[in-house]
């Protein structure tokens, strides 16, 4: 079965030129492969009843816990749900806060962050700081443009 043009797909390439450390958010990227594109299985979702936009999710793991990960080009920052952070017993940092606005435009503050290991595919590993908040029902991990830009995604 081939991929239809309307489906969403993701390819990740991580080479030495894409590894960096950003002083503002302390994101690091590490690759366990040697300069190969890594195809990720992507699942497009579309709710025809409510005519919602498609969203892209990938199978991955956070700190070796397998989960679905939402890729969101409309989000500036990456997030993990408070529920998953608690299940994984992650250490939360409350020294910084960020003001965010969701789909409704209502601003709110996120006051906790943590560092996680995200594994995409079988061998691509990223260590990054994420914000901890209630993302939405059924969403445990959201990777925003901060992650995608570091991973070499350009829109």
Residues 100-134 pLDDT 10s: 877 677 788 898 999 999 998 777 889 999 999 98
- Any idea which of 22-31, 78-87, 92-101 has the lowest mean pLDDT? 22-31
* Listed residue (94, 135, 126) closest to 111, CA to CA: 94
Q: What is the pTM (predicted TM-score) of this model?
A: 0.66
Q: How confident is the model at residue 44 (pLDDT cuts 50, 70, 90)?
A: low
- Cα R_g (the chain), whole angstroms: 16
Q: Are 12 and 126 a contacting pair, CB within 8 Å?
A: no
Give phi and psi for 74, each to the nearest 5. Answer: -90, -5
Q: Who's near 27: CB < 8 A, 6+ residues apart?
A: 20, 21, 126, 127, 128, 129, 146, 147, 150
Scanning the structure block, which residue is given the tokens 């080009």? 73
24, pLDDT greater than 50: no
Question: Rounded to an integer, what distance in angstroms lies between the CA atom of residue 139 and that of residue 55?
Answer: 12
Predicted pLDDT at 154: 75
CATH code: domain 10-150 is 2.40.70.10
Q: Who's near 149: CB < 8 A, 6+ residues apart?
A: none
DSSP run (H or E) holding 69: strand 65-71
Q: Do strands 38-40 and 10-12 pair parallel, antiparallel, or not at all (unpaired)? A: antiparallel
What's the mean pLDDT in 74-98?
93
């Amino acid at each position: 079965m081939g991929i239809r043009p309307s489906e969403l797909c993701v390819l990740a390439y991580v080479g030495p030129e894409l590894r960096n450390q950003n002083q503002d958010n302390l994101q690091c990227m590490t690759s366990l492969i040697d300069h190969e594109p890594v195809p990720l299985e992507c699942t497009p979702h579309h709710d025809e009843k409510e005519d919602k936009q498609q969203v892209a999710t990938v199978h991955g793991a956070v700190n070796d816990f397998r989960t679905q990960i939402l890729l969101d080009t409309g989000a500036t920052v990456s997030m993990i749900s408070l529920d998953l952070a608690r299940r994984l017993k992650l250490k939360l940092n409350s020294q910084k806060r960020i003001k965010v606005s969701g789909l409704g435009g209502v601003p709110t503050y996120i006051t906790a962050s943590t560092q996680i290991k995200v594994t995409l595919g079988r061998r691509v590993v990223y260590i990054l700081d994420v914000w901890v908040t209630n993302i939405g029902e059924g969403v445990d991990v959201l990777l925003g443009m901060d992650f995608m830009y570091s991973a070499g995604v350009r829109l």
